[in-house]
Structure 1
């Protein structure tokens, strides 16, 4: 009986194809993980921005419009409402992650809104916990620098201020 060595390519092909499939699966899982981290970071930054807009200009995060009643009453920001908005923003947007908690707080002076999202990712048999932070500064219009009206008239007369 003469052996023609025809089976060697089949075994090598099986090993190579299995390895390539494993690598493609790992790249897809890492893509899902990267997507979820990006979505969580974007949500944390957006919640911090909403909180600061609501605090400094009374732009309501749900409506996207100025809340004149809150402005007239000079009420403070309801952090629970911002947290619930965060849960709504993340609903059914994560592939391999699960949100554990969202916490919103202000600093001692009340100028910054801090958002922290704690999430857990499950990739295969591994559990990865992560804390994502978002911070935004509330810019009140009364704190912005103002020009004296006399300085502005001098710049217009001298031609320094062009439109």
Structure 2
């Protein structure tokens, strides 16, 4: 009698620990994907990457400096595909901040453990990297009297 209770309790605890581990793993994967997408979008802002060729389309770049949201969403689904145990992604939203100095990523997903469902939203943001914002290195001038050979 006591052995049945103890074994049942141990099996329940092992199962709950495994389910909690799967849940934590999936949240970590989704948050990591949101962070990577935000950084990826901030590095690409101001350029237009053609989705098929994956090179800068200079004609579209001249016309407007819109960020390729569809390409970032596709990359986000690719980062998450096949890595989740108990969750599924419902939507990936990529947008610019109000002052257009930041890329914001929001990934909405639904976890299912047994018959229970838990919604989760991972958000991340990264500041735009523009080449004008980086400090310029002063040109090095050869020192007087030093022979460059």
Task: Select 1:126's aligned residue among 116, 129, 138.
Answer: 116
Give the aligned length: 141
Runs of 4+ in 1 over 2 A off after TM superposition: 58-63, 65-76, 144-149
Task: Select 1:115's aligned residue among 85, 101, 105.
Answer: 105
SS at match of 2:125: strand
Larger radius of gyration: 1
Structure 2 length as normaliser, TM-score? 0.80
Residue by residue, what CA displacement relative to the aligned partner does 1:94-151 show, whole Å, maximum 9, x if unpaired? 11111111100001222111000111111122111111101111121212344677xx
Structural RMSD (CA): 2.5
Task: Select 1:100's aligned residue among 67, 71, 90.
Answer: 90
Unaligned runs of 5+ in 2: 144-149
Structure 1 or 2: larger helix share? Answer: 1
Q: Say whether the 8 Å CA contact 1:53–1:59 is kept in structure 2.
A: no
Aligned match of 1:41: 31
Q: Say whether the 8 Å CA contact 2:49–2:57 is kept in structure 1.
A: no
SS at match of 1:128: strand
The CA distance in 2 between the partners of 1:20 and 1:59, in whole Å, is 56
Unaligned runs of 5+ in 1: 1-10, 158-163
- C-alpha distance 66-52 of structure 1, shift in aligned 2 (>3 A): farther
Once structures 1 and 2 are overlaid, which stretch shifts more, 92-101 or 73-82? 73-82
The CA distance in 1 between the partners of 2:49 and 2:42, in whole Å, is 10
Structure 1 length as normaliser, TM-score? 0.74
Matches within 5 A, 1:14-93: 14-55=4-45, 58=47, 67=56, 69=58, 75-93=65-83
